[in-house]
Amino acid sequence: MTSKSTVRINLSEISNQERINLRQRALDLFNEGCGYKRVATILNLSAYTVRDWLKEYEVGIFKPEGQKVGRPEKVLSKEFGDTITQEHRSGVSVNELSRKYGKTKSTIRYWLEGKRKKSNTK
């Protein structure tokens, strides 16, 4: 039995330009039809990182310049919240919204409950 001992690239230890180049290469590979595991292998990245990138790509928010480094933004934009609220009112389930937008079900529910509370106080 042979073991693979590959050292993965740590995105926090490379320059911003190198990170942009990796994300651009990932975007090119997604466009060619590669799945996230294949892209992760080619780019020597964590499959979990590339899976997250693929989710962003599938909903149209993946950009080579990426997001801010550090913790993800916790506040949803008003436009995004209005969109999920409208879709939910038209019959789209929380599970479907979660899958479509790559947000947890609890995040979707939290937003929907917050909107409901605000509209009830007016």
Interatomic CA distance for residues 105 and 93, integer angstroms? 10
Residue 73 confidence (pLDDT): 52
Tens-digit pLDDT profile for residues 58-68: 777 777 776 54
Task: Report the share of the chain in percent with pLDDT over 70.
Answer: 80
Tens-digit pLDDT profile for residues 14-45: 888 888 888 889 889 988 998 889 999 999 99
Tens-digit pLDDT profile for residues 98-115: 888 888 888 888 888 875
Other C-beta atoms lying within 10 Å of the C-beta of residue 54: 21
Interatomic CA distance for residues 54 and 60, integer angstroms? 10
Q: Which of 54, 53, 77 is nearest to 67 (CA)?
A: 53
Interatomic CA distance for residues 95 and 97, integer angstroms? 5
On whether the CB atoms of residues 62 and 53 are closer than 8 A, the answer is: yes
Residue type (1 letter), 114: G
Q: What average pLDDT does the chain have?
A: 79
